[in-house]
Structure 1
Amino acid sequence: MKTDLTRRMLLKGTIASSAIGIAIGAGLLTPKAVLAAWPKEAFTAKDIPGALSSLMGSDSAEESGDITIKAPDIAENGAVVPVTVSTTLPGVESIAIIAANNPVPLIANFNLKEGAEGFVSSRIKMGKSGDVIAVVKSDGKLYKAGKEVKVTIGGCGG
């Protein structure tokens, strides 16, 4: 009895996999249709104003004391720099993280739903020392804050 059940599950899985393979081969399922839309221009921009304009429609953000960035003062490994951004601004729509001295500065953008807490945490890659900038879109306006992070080679502190 158990063998019959196992055989049926195997047959169902095989038929489902075959159907998906045929649909992909016929062009009925394409990754482009399945993947979420993303702002390619923003994530390939070589400068901060270009990235912000493509991502948020403007590159002018005012400094805000309501944004807090937690990141190490000295990062011993630039490949994994922990960064946490939090804000008390009302109506937060999105939070972007930028590494100013990276060849492509825009690291991440988080779109938040209405009522979500203005908090994100991630590990970013930094090619060299520089500012980590958080840009928060709140009630249609852009606000920013920055923190300098020094990246050391091999954890030497120099």
Structure 2
Amino acid sequence: MTPALSRRAALGLVLLALPGGAWAQEDAVAAAIRDQVGDTPATEGGITLRAPPVAENGGQVPVTVLVDSPQTVESHVTAIHVFATRNPTPGVASFRLTPLMARAEVQTRIRVAEDQRIIAVASMSDGTVRQTAAELRVTTGGCLS
């Protein structure tokens, strides 16, 4: 009888299977997020990331981030950050918001070279952090020279 693998051991085996470059990219993304929001753990929910599942042109990918917040002085979004997991510089955009904004929504276009995960992170006035992600496929990379 073989003992069952613990969740930690199974995760370790999966992580060992990743190529060395994936480790470096995940570290860079985690560091970029930490630079923006500190060590506060992010929770899922209350934030929506809209991006096309397949981008025909990686040079102009429309991205919208909407955070469910009343935008009052007592409770509002202070910042929205967008990260791309396989870009050379993971931090794509940062937006500062105030309670004077009618709603916590930002729209931009980003440039990506290859298939990757886009991460949106929102910092709230109460110190909490919300996060969501979307997978993005690219048919023509936007970072070609």
- TM above 0.5, yes or no, is yes
Residue 59 of structure 1 and its aligned partner are, at CA, apart by: 6.0
Structure 2 residue identity aligned to 1:124 = I
Residues 113 and 140 in structure 2, CA contact (< 8 A), matched pair in contact too: no
The CA deviation string for residues 101-123 of structure 1, in whole angstroms up to 9 with x for no partner, is 11211100001012322100000
Which consecutive unaligned segments of at least 5 residues does structure 2 have?
Answer: 1-26, 70-74
Matches within 5 A, 1:15-34: none
Normalised to the residue count of structure 2, the TM-score between the two structures is: 0.69
Aligned with residue 74 of structure 1, among 54, 66, 69:
54
Among 95, 102, 105, the alignment partner of 1:119 is: 105
Candidates 95, 115, 122, aligned match of 1:129:
115
Aligned residues: 108
Larger radius of gyration: 1
Alignment-derived partner of residue 10 in structure 2: none
Q: What residue in structure 1 maps to residue 84 of structure 2?
A: 99
User: How high is the TM-score relative to the length of structure 1?
Assistant: 0.63
Higher helix share: 1
Query: Cα gap change, 1:58/1:115 in structure 2, threshold over 3 Å: closer, same or farther?
Result: farther
Change (3 A) 1:140 1:54: same
Q: Which structure has the higher relative contact order (CA within 8 Å, separation 6+)? A: 2
Q: Percent identity of the aligned residues?
A: 35
Residue of structure 2 equivalent to 1:153: 140
User: Match for residue 12 of structure 2?
Assistant: none
The answer on whether the counterparts of 1:52 and 1:59 sit within 8 Å (CA) in structure 2 is no
The CA deviation at 1:54 is 1.6
Query: Match for 1:50 among 31, 38, 41?
Result: 31
Listed as ranges, the gaps of 5+ residues in structure 1 are 1-45
SS at match of 1:47: helix
Provide the C-alpha distance between the structure 2 equivalents of 1:115 and 1:58, rounded to a whole number of angstroms: 27
Q: Which consecutive segments of 4 or more residues in structure 1 shift more than 3 A?
A: none
8 Å contact from structure 1 (residues 97, 132) kept in 2: yes
Tell me, what secondary structure is at the counterpart of 1:53? Answer: helix
